[in-house]
Structure 1
Amino acid sequence: MEETSEVNTERGEFDYHNSAVLLMETPHQVSRNTDTFPCVSGQSETVEDLQVPVADSTVDPEKEGAVNEDNVNRTEFHESKEVYMSVGQTEDKPLKKSERRLASRRREHWSSKRRLDSGQITSTSKRVRGDISTVQKLSSDGFPIEHPFNKDGYRYTLAEPDPHASGDLEQYAGKAVPARLYRVVLPQSILLSMNDRANQLNLSDDRLSVTGDKGYCTVRATHCVSRGGWYFEVTVKDLPSGSACRIGWSQNYGNLQAPLGYDKFGYSWRSKKGTRFHQSRGKRYSSSYEAGDVLGFYIYLTEWRPCKTVILPDHHKNQTLIKFRNYLYFEERDLVEKAEKSLSPLTGSKIIFFKNGKSQGIAWEDIYDGSYYPAISLYKNASVLMNFGPEFLYPPEGLTNYRPMSDAIDQAFVEHTLADMLFHLEYDEDTAGNAVHYSRQSHKR
């Protein structure tokens, strides 16, 4: 197939199969559920920030955007007096009138810096005291309605207590809660993600349909795959004049505020002219698609990996644990530049797109190694409907080596369970080793 380059100008070795059978029958696997979730009690409805569940209740003015002025000390708020006092100020020496005015301005400034943008946090430096024994139910689909979005260089993953972690949560009431005592909440079904999306996109109640708004932006699914052949379907519900969509596969560092295929982490198929995109460059691929078409998306990721390659998901147990609207989340930085440098082609991998069951040919071969999510980018008010299987409207013709994305649910349980188990084994061994070392040193003394 002849290809012509088109520059994009639109911005806007472990045997898991045998392990799976054993793990799915164990209490460790059965204990994973999303019926209940612990929260930190005592949080009023007026709290407007992500919070870390620790005992310290101070606020760092520098991290909260405090205004620095010449010859004036930084201030802190004393709740008992309901006034701001200079650092080092005593009750016997009250603030001057000019200092009180300045403190009032600073208080308003800090308050404005902590306001949320559509439920998103602006700071994580606020500390609160918490009682972690309270239990609160999740929403019907297993994810809180109010949540932080993945943006501004940070990602958030919902957490729940890990019943297999060594240690008792009760002993940490009012103290810093170690992230190792929690684990990732795994959705019971594959849907479009509530927080791994641009907040401009509108999801349906069942989280299987999405409608765009103005410029290009992206949403990813809740589950990813890292090896084997996988397939999902998308029905184009509405594609008004002037709108467009790009659909395909994305790694977790793909830019959500840009069209899919804008960077190195995504591969997409565009409705207009049927162009395929990767790294902001489009190449002729197929005819265009329109409303009513049913599209298929196949990815094959080579099973074999070098021994040094990590193929288990991240357990997040060494990351920061924060609280938002009475739910706990793992917080991590988006290390995009580091991830880009580590990308390498995966020999034998490929992506194929289908229209109404018919293959449009191989779109890419030897794509970058990594874990890939089904992803959709919409421009203006385009609308699509997802079908993750197991039954498809148009089974892909000539394709046999694939699994529906719905199968990724069970695989995620197995992989995350293994990742958690390995962490606990290593942590317990390290703890025991340190205890023996300390005992020997004490005996020598």
Structure 2
Amino acid sequence: MSTEGAGSPPREATPTATASPPIITSIPQKRALEDDHQPAISSPLNPDFKPQPSKHQDEAALARERAPRAKKESLKKRESKAGSIAPDTSARATPDPKAATSQKSKKHEAPPAPMRYKLPPPKLTDFEPPRGPIFIQSHIKTAPDGTEIQFNETTDHVYNKKAFHYTHCIADPAFPSSLYYRQSETEPFESRLNFEDTSTHMFLDESGKHVTTDKGFRMAKANVGVREGRWYWECKITSGIPKRKRSDGGGHTQEESANGHVRMGWARREATLDAPVGFDAYSYGLRDVAGQKVYMSRPKDFFPPGEDIREGDVIGLEINLPSETLHRKVVEGHYNPAVDLTDDENPGIERADIIRDRVPIRFKAHLYFEQIEYQAVKELEELMNPSPVIASSGGVAIGHTQEPGPTHQCPSLRTLPHSSIKIYKNGELIGTPFTNLLAFLPPASKPIAQVGAREGLDDGMLGYYPAVSVFRGGAAEVNFGPHFWYPPPGFEDQDDEVDMIGSDQPTTSKLQKLRAVGERYDEQIVEDIVYDIVDEVDFWMQDGGVSGKGATNGMRASAGVSVQDGMLAGGVLGSEEIKELVQDDE
């Protein structure tokens, strides 16, 4: 063994073991996975390279450095999923259960209260009973029975057009919380054609029972509509296809020239007035020529061959609608054909919440409530006029993918089970031209999209209305009962309820009594009174039980809009005068 010299340099220590490449201790240690996921060196693929912190760096600094990177990564993931940015990482990691719960509970929320306006004090004239239109004599027509009918031009009244619906109103000191205004009616106080719900350039008599025009097809609706049950009314042709024939001198007979044309049927609120009944998907009509049924402008044979509807004929129209309870099941998507086999509900036992967003306006010397009208939806427009482009390209066109039915995916295309329209001619049943009528309760009906419009609300005036269309001299008289020219079989002898055969079986429902449409007039007035009282109590409760001047000063917006915002449902708060409506008769 050799020994070191005193002056020799110190010898390096001999390694105790031979180091192999996999375990060379001089290679830098691999960074911890929790530190970062970036490469250790910079590269074109890693432009955001940051130096790796040493192992002696403070852990708090590492946490602060990791936080922005984690937030950025989470943001990208959320953007790729079209999500929203949450305020912190814990909210991003765990979905907010309240959001889902609130979204699910929207269907079960209580309906909103009517929109409320701050109005100026009413004028003394606002307390006077509303007046009907002014009648200007136009011409006289002679009915087939020799009766002379004085037709008049109506003026100084508003028409239901320009996206609004109008009803008469009056100021009443018994309604201080609703700022004094309530709904009212004008003479004649009975079921008739609605002077406000007719097209322009139509002539009516003062009773509102006769109608004609010298223009093209135009429509007039009744002032009463039906929502459930069985209802009947009559339409008499006073000028149309004549019954008489004349000789041409050669032994042949020819029809006399037609004195215009008439169509009659049932029309919904959305049906256009400047077209005949049956023009679109919102009305079901009967044509005088050949007695054809018309729906969406498509005439189809219905009467026996060679039979027309001529002057003097009386056409009876019966509609059958299920209860509103079953109706709401259909439009809300809860209808099950396997379970809801029959309609066992009695009409009127359950009513939906009626929300009437309306504001009083002036038209000349008249006061009206103005409400946003319901519109024709694109699904029914597509049903009437299918788009060949959408159909050929395989696009999603609801009218092509599924026929209307009670379980249709689109509420506007859902039909009512047990619904139909029957036609009588001079007291004899001709048949049932229409079944499975389209539903009309929201969301099947939607208001026109504009300021103040709110979808899903029922204003109480949706339904099917008797409607008459006349064309170039055609004239008709309506009879809403109860004394009909040709009562349908068994109408006068029926009891309150008529049991079906086998009514002892639990799965069989009862047929409702066939009623005259005219009975709806008094019912509608009662409903309007009840709705007005409900609105008054609602506003009174919002004011904390304060009436009169205190109610006006303490008014709160029922739709979540504060008075300080300056606007409420499109109405200007603190206005000095009620809106004056300007509407041409053209």
TM-score under structure 2 length normalisation:
0.47
1:292 partnered with 2:312? yes
Please name the residue that 1:414 is paired with: 526
Report the counterpart of residue 269 of structure 1 in structure 2.
Answer: 286
* Partner residue of 1:377 out of 469, 473, 479: 469
Q: Indicate conservation of the 8 Å contact 1:276/1:285, yes or no.
A: yes
Aligned match for 2:429, one of 359, 369, 373: 359
Match for 1:290: what amino acid? R
Separation in structure 1 between the aligned mates of residue 224 and residue 134 of structure 2, nearest angstrom: 14
Identity fraction in percent? 26
Match of 2:123 in 1: 131
CA distance in 1, matches of 2:209, 2:376: 32
Task: Give the superposition deviation at 1:387.
Answer: 1.1
Does the 8 A contact of 1:212 with 1:381 survive in 2? yes
Q: Which residue of 2 aligns with 1:278?
A: 295
Partner of 2:325: helix, strand, or coil? coil
Confirm or deny: 8 A CA contact 1:313 1:419 kept in the other structure.
no
Write the letter of the residue equivalent to 1:347.
Answer: P
Verify the 8 A CA contact 2:283 2:295 in the aligned structure 1. Answer: yes
Instruction: Say whether the 8 Å CA contact 1:248–1:297 is kept in structure 2.
Output: yes
Matches within 5 A, 1:382-393: 382-393=474-485
Per the TM alignment, residue 420 of structure 1 is displaced from its structure 2 partner at its CA by 2.3
Residue 326 of structure 1, aligned match among 357, 361, 365: 365
CA contact (8 A) 1:153 1:333 kept: yes
Partner of 1:182: 181
Any conservation in 1 of the 2:129–2:170 contact (CA below 8 Å)?
A: no
Distance in 1, matches of 2:132 and 2:173, equals 22
CA–CA separation in structure 2 for the residues paired with 1:201 and 1:237: 15
CA 1:54–1:269 in 2, change beyond 3 Å: closer, same or farther? Answer: same
Deviations 1:168-209 (A, max 9, x none): xxxxxxxxxx6x632222352011111110111110122111
Shift of 1:273: 1.3
**Any residues of structure 2 matched to 1:20-31 within 5 Å, and which?**
none
* Matching residue's letter, 2:192: L
CA–CA distance in structure 2, aligned partners of residues 413 and 312 of structure 1? 17
CA deviations 1:213-248 (Å, max 9, x no partner) are 221010001111111111111111111535221101
Contact 1:313 1:415 in 2 (8 A): no
How far off its partner does 1:267 sit? 0.8
Distance change in 2, residues 1:300/1:186 (3 Å): farther
- Tell me how far 1:132 sits from its aligned partner: 4.4
Q: Which amino acid aligns with 1:412?
A: Q
Would you say the 8 A contact 1:261–1:277 is kept in 2? yes
1-structure distance, mates of 2:298, 2:539? 45
What's the CA shift string for 1:17-58, capped at 9, x where partnerless? xxxxxxxxxxxxxxxxxxxxxxxxxxxxxxxxxxx9977xxx
- Separation of aligned partners in 2, 1:208 and 1:197: 13
Counterpart of 1:377, as a letter, is: S
Aligned to 1:104: none
Shift of 1:386: 1.2
The letter for the 1-side match of 2:430 is: Q
Whole-angstrom distance in 1 between the partners of 2:130 and 2:274: 28
In structure 2, the CA distance between the partners of 1:141 and 1:300, relative to structure 1 (3 Å rule), is farther
1:20 corresponds to which residue? none
Corresponding position of 2:325? 305
Q: Deviations over 1:396-443 (max 9, x none)?
A: 1266531111211221122222322332333333333998x9xxxxxx
Query: Which residue in 2 is equivalent to 1:335?
Result: 374
Tell which structure's C-alpha radius of gyration is larger. 2
Q: Tell me, in whole angstroms, the C-alpha distance in 1 between the residues paired with 2:239 and 2:131.
A: 29
| Amino acid aligned to 1:261 | G
In the alignment, is the contact (CA less than 8 A) between 1:230 and 1:299 conserved in 2?
A: yes
When residues 389 and 215 of structure 1 are mapped into structure 2, their CA distance, relative to the original with a 3 A threshold, is same
1:359 offset after TM fit, Å? 0.8
Contact 1:212/1:380, CA 8 A, preserved across alignment: yes
CA contact (8 A) 1:139 1:145 kept: no
Query: Residues 164 and 150 of structure 1: is their aligned pair in 2 closer, same or farther, counting only changes over 3 Å?
Result: same
- 1:28-427 counterparts in 2 under 5 A? 131-132=123-124, 135-139=127-131, 146-162=156-172, 164-167=174-177, 181-186=180-185, 188-239=189-240, 241-242=257-258, 243-286=260-303, 287-306=307-326, 316=356, 318-337=357-376, 342-343=411-412, 344-370=414-440, 371-397=463-489, 401-427=513-539
State the secondary structure of the residue aligned to 1:418: helix
Q: Which runs of 5+ in 2 are unaligned?
A: 1-116, 136-153, 242-256, 332-349, 381-409, 441-462, 495-512, 547-553, 557-586
For 1:280 and 1:164, locate their aligned partners in 2 and report how far apart those are by CA, in whole Å: 48
Please list the CA deviations of residues 312-362 of structure 1 after superposition, one character each: whole Å capped at 9, or x if unmatched. Answer: 69664x323210112211122333145967533111111101100011111
Unaligned runs of 5+ in 1: 1-51, 56-128, 168-177, 438-445
1:192–1:208 CA contact under 8 A, matched in 2 = yes
Contact 1:269 1:275 (8 Å CA) reproduced: yes
Question: With structure 1 as the length reference, what TM-score do the two structures score?
Answer: 0.60
Contact 1:53 1:322 in 2 (8 A): no
* Contact 2:127 2:171 (8 Å CA) reproduced: no
CA contact (8 A) 2:130 2:169 kept: no
Give the secondary structure class of the aligned counterpart of 1:414: helix
> 1:53, 1:130 within 8 Å by CA — same for their partners in 2?
no
Higher strand share: 1
Q: Look up the equivalent residue of 1:366 and give its one-letter code.
A: N
Distance 2:132 2:202 in 1: 21
- C-alpha distance in 2 between matches for 1:424 and 1:138: 21
Q: Specify whether residues 323 and 155 from structure 1 end up closer, same or farther in structure 2 by C-alpha distance, changes over 3 A only.
A: same
2:481 touches 2:516 (CA, 8 Å); kept in 1? yes
1:108 matched residue in structure 2: none
Determine helix, strand or coil for the equivalent of 2:518.
helix
Instruction: Tell me by how many angstroms 1:140 deviates.
Output: 7.4
- The separation in 1 between residues aligned to 2:129 and 2:533, in whole angstroms, is 26
Distance in structure 2 (CA, Å) of the matches to 1:162 and 1:130: 9
User: How many residue pairs were aligned?
Assistant: 301
Quick one: distance in 2 between partners of 1:264 and 1:213?
26
* Match among 424, 427, 431 for residue 543 of structure 2: 431
